[in-house]
């Protein structure tokens, strides 16, 4: 993964992970708070219902007790019973008087029972909620009331409905009013029905109440088990009914769902922003680095003057400036080095030329001195000696002349004039020059033309020199028969490769370092300038030349040429009149 992607990922993680973690914590806290609110709401409703129930019970107790203690209707009834004047007409008046008495105290049921001992004990004297029951036997109700001793208890009470009489579960409280030896049981009640809890508190949404038997599980909203608000006992103290409460958690779930959705939207938005910021940051941070990388590659490729446009500030900007300063320094140093190299090369050439010229000068001087001596003495062999000496002198002068003209050929090597050049055709042309020679030249050429920008004449010179050397080496090792030279051309990614291989005696490792120097030769009639010229031409074209192992222990010269021809930097440093002996590149 590239630096840019790594940085992008890093920034994204750095921006997004804490955000998501924080978001999750906040979301969890909010959800917990919502749930806590919900729970507290249920608790407060349950608490309020319990309080209201206790108040109601106390009110009811007081109201029932007040009826037993002193009430006009009941006092009158007791008096009637005591004086034995209770008759059906009296019963009729109770039918009209009891319902308002009952409703005035907000009871659902109100029984007046004969509580005297005897046959009529338990007879219904009046019933505010169900006049039709007057005269019926309610001894069990009376017993239960007495047994409950004023505590509320649950019992089914028959009431009149439009569909006829029906039993309804009722919470009853009662007492016995006694005066003058007669007693009347007063039992008042409230129905324990659906809506009982709601009736206690009014609107209690989203809390719902239900009345259920001890083993019943009523249908209540919410997923948690219901809370028991109160237990109601029957007259014998056994559990009879429960008031249950539960909270509907659908609104909570809706709230939580909404919260999660909003969090998701916010997270998605934040991710988008983080991505954008990370992208911008990565771009601004990695851009100078990429520029630096590219420039470094250019420097490695030989473009020492490569400069970076510095837009960044801070450390990165300073790094780029330092890089620019370094390449300027490098370019300047290279210039100095080139100058020094040229001076050194010139000195070396001057030394070799002096040496080469001094060698023939000595025999010339000796021959002339000998001739002068013989002439002065008038020696008879002078003529013969003259002939011999002058031809020797002429030969040496010719050799010097030859050497000087070879040197000036090398020294005047002009700057290349590049043009599109098909190397395949050039190789065929050079091979043609060797047709009929004693060495077999094998050609390995690509099917397609291989075109580079190069100076035709100079590259011909390169190939001719290399092939000539290869032929010299191969035929020296295999005189007469078996000498082989291979000339191969292959296109490369950015140009072409020329390879001249032979099966000659190869080049000793020590000599490999020296063969490109001017005047290095191992041949009796060689100038030692061939490879120096080749090296310089290849260098002037921005290419390179290397020695490798060739065929059967022989040598191979590999020339790489760039497609685009001599690079600007090299072309600019060459001048037609300049005389660099060592190639300027590589």
Ligand X SMILES: Nc1ncnc2c1ncn2[C@@H]1O[C@H](COP(=O)(O)OP(=O)(O)OP(=O)(O)O)[C@@H](O)[C@H]1O
Closest to 582 (Cα-Cα) out of 532, 541, 543: 532
Q: Is position 529 an interface residue for ligand X (rule: CB under 6 A)? A: yes
Nearer to ligand X, 189 or 518 (CB): 518
Q: What mask of x and - would describe binding to Mg ion in positions 468 to 497, judged by CB under 5 A?
A: -x----------------------------
Joined tokens for residue 20: 């998501």
Closest to 471 (Cα-Cα) out of 436, 446, 495: 436
Given Mg ion, ligand X, none, residue 515, with its beta carbon under 5 to 8 Å by kind, binds ligand X
Q: Is position 520 an interface residue for ligand X (rule: CB under 6 A)? A: yes
Q: Is position 559 an interface residue for ligand X (rule: CB under 6 A)? A: no
Residue of the chain from 527, 559, 560, 585 that contacts ligand X (CB under 6 A) = 527
Q: State the minimum distance, in angstroms, from the CB of residue 530 to Mg ion.
A: 3
In angstroms, rounded to a whole number, what is the distance separating the alpha carbons of residues 375 and 385?
10
Q: Is position 521 an interface residue for ligand X (rule: CB under 6 A)? A: yes
Q: Is position 467 an interface residue for ligand X (rule: CB under 6 A)? A: no
Q: State the minimum distance, in angstroms, from the CB of residue 474 to ligand X.
A: 8
Q: Which residues contact 251 (CB under 8 A, 6 or more apart)?
A: 206
Residue span binding ligand X (CB under 6 A) among the ranges 4-12, 121-129, 292-300, 525-533: 525-533
Residue span binding ligand X (CB under 6 A) among the ranges 132-140, 381-389, 445-453, 527-535: 527-535
In angstroms, rounded to a whole number, what is the distance separating the alpha carbons of residues 213 and 375?
162
Q: State the minimum distance, in angstroms, from the CB of residue 537 to ligand X.
A: 13
Residue span binding Mg ion (CB under 5 A) among the ranges 282-290, 317-325, 394-402, 461-469: 461-469
In angstroms, rounded to a whole number, what is the distance separating the alpha carbons of residues 533 and 555?
18
Given Mg ion, ligand X, none, residue 507, with its beta carbon under 5 to 8 Å by kind, binds ligand X
Cross-strand pairs, 240: none
Q: Which residues contact 264 (CB under 8 A, 6 or more apart)?
A: none
The DSSP bridge pattern shows strands 451-454 and 124-127 to be: unpaired
Using DSSP, state whether 157 is helix, strand or coil: strand
Nearer to ligand X, 284 or 405 (CB): 405
Nearer to Mg ion, 126 or 528 (CB): 528
Q: Is position 530 an interface residue for ligand X (rule: CB under 6 A)? A: yes
Q: Is position 473 an interface residue for ligand X (rule: CB under 6 A)? A: yes
Inter-CA distances, 371 with 357, 364, 391, 467, 506, Å:
21, 11, 13, 45, 46
Q: Is position 523 an interface residue for ligand X (rule: CB under 6 A)? A: yes
The residue count for the chain = 586
Please name the residue that has the structure tokens 């370094």. 326
The DSSP code sequence of 158-208 is EEEETTEEEEEEEEEEEEEEEETTEEEEEEEEEE--TTHHHHHHS--TTEE
Nearer to Mg ion, 27 or 527 (CB): 527
Residue of the chain from 418, 504, 530, 554 that contacts Mg ion (CB under 5 A) = 530
Residue of the chain from 247, 487, 498, 507 that contacts ligand X (CB under 6 A) = 507
Q: What mask of x and - would describe binding to Mg ion in positions 415 to 454, judged by CB under 5 A?
A: ----------------------------------------
State CA 13 to chain mean position distance: 7
- Whether 474 and 503 have beta carbons less than 8 Å apart is answered as yes
- Whether 542 and 492 have beta carbons less than 8 Å apart is answered as no
Q: Is position 531 an interface residue for ligand X (rule: CB under 6 A)? A: yes
Please name the residue that has the structure tokens 């008495």. 101
Residues that bind Mg ion (CB under 5 A): 469, 530
Residues that bind ligand X (CB under 6 A): 465, 469-470, 473, 502, 504, 507, 515, 520-523, 526-532, 555
């Amino acid at each position: 993964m590239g630096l840019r992607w790594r940085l992008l990922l890093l920034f994204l993680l750095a921006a997004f992970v804490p955000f998501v973690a924080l978001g999750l914590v906040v979301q969890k806290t909010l959800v917990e708070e919502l749930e806590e609110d919900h729970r507290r709401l249920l608790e407060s409703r349950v608490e309020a219902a319990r309080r209201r129930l206790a108040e109601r019970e106390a009110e009811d107790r007081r109201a029932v007790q007040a009826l037993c203690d002193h009430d006009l209707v009941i006092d009158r009834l007791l008096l009637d019973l005591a004086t034995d004047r209770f008759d059906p007409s009296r019963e009729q008046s109770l039918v009209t008087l009891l319902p308002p008495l009952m409703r005035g105290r907000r009871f659902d049921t109100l029984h007046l029972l004969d509580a005297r001992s005897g046959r009529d004990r338990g007879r219904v004297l009046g019933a505010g909620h169900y006049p039709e029951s007057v005269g019926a036997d309610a001894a069990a109700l009376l017993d239960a009331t007495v047994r409950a001793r004023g505590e509320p208890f649950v019992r089914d009470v028959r009431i009149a409905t439009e569909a006829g009489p029906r039993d309804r579960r009722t919470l009853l409280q009662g007492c016995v009013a006694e005066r003058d030896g007669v007693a009347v049981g007063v039992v008042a009640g409230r129905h324990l029905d659906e809506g009982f809890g709601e009736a206690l508190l009014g609107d209690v949404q989203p809390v719902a109440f239900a009345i259920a038997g001890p083993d019943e599980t009523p249908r209540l909203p919410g997923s948690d088990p219901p809370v028991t608000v109160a237990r109601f006992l029957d007259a014998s103290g056994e559990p009879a009914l429960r008031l249950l409460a539960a909270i509907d958690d659908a609104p909570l779930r809706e709230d939580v769902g909404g919260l999660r959705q909003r969090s998701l939207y916010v997270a998605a938005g934040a991710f988008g922003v983080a991505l954008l910021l990370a992208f911008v940051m990565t771009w601004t941070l990695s851009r100078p680095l990429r520029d630096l990388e590219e420039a470094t590659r250019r420097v490695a490729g030989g473009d020492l003057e490569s400069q970076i446009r510095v837009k960044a500030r801070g450390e990165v900007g300073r790094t780029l400036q330092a890089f620019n300063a370094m390449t300027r320094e490098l370019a300047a140093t290279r210039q100095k080095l080139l100058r020094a190299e040229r001076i050194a090369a010139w000195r070396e050439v001057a030394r070799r030329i002096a040496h080469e010229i001094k060698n023939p000068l000595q025999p010339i001087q000796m021959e002339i001195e000998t001739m002068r001596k013989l002439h002065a003495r008038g020696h008879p062999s002078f003529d013969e000696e003259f002939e011999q000496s002058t031809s020797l002198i002429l030969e040496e002068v010719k050799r010097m002349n030859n050497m000087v003209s070879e040197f000036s050929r090398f020294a005047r090597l002009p700057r290349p004039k590049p043009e599109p050049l098909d190397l395949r055709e050039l190789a065929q042309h050079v091979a043609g020059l060797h047709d009929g020679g004693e060495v077999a030249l094998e050609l390995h050429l690509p099917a397609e033309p291989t075109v580079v920008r190069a100076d035709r004449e100079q590259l011909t010179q390169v190939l001719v020199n290399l092939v000539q050397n290869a032929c010299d080496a191969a035929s020296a090792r295999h005189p007469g028969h078996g000498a082989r030279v291979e000339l191969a051309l292959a296109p490369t990614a950015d140009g072409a490769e020329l390879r001249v291989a032979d099966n000659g005696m190869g080049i000793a490792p020590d000599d490999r370092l020296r063969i490109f120097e001017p005047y290095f030769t191992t041949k009796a009639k060689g100038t030692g300038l061939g490879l120096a010229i080749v090296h310089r031409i290849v260098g002037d074209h921005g290419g390179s030349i290397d020695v490798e192992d060739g065929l059967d222990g022989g040598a191979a010269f590999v020339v790489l040429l760039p497609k685009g021809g001599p690079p600007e930097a090299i072309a600019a440093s060459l001048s037609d009149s300049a005389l660099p002996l060592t190639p300027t590149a590589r």
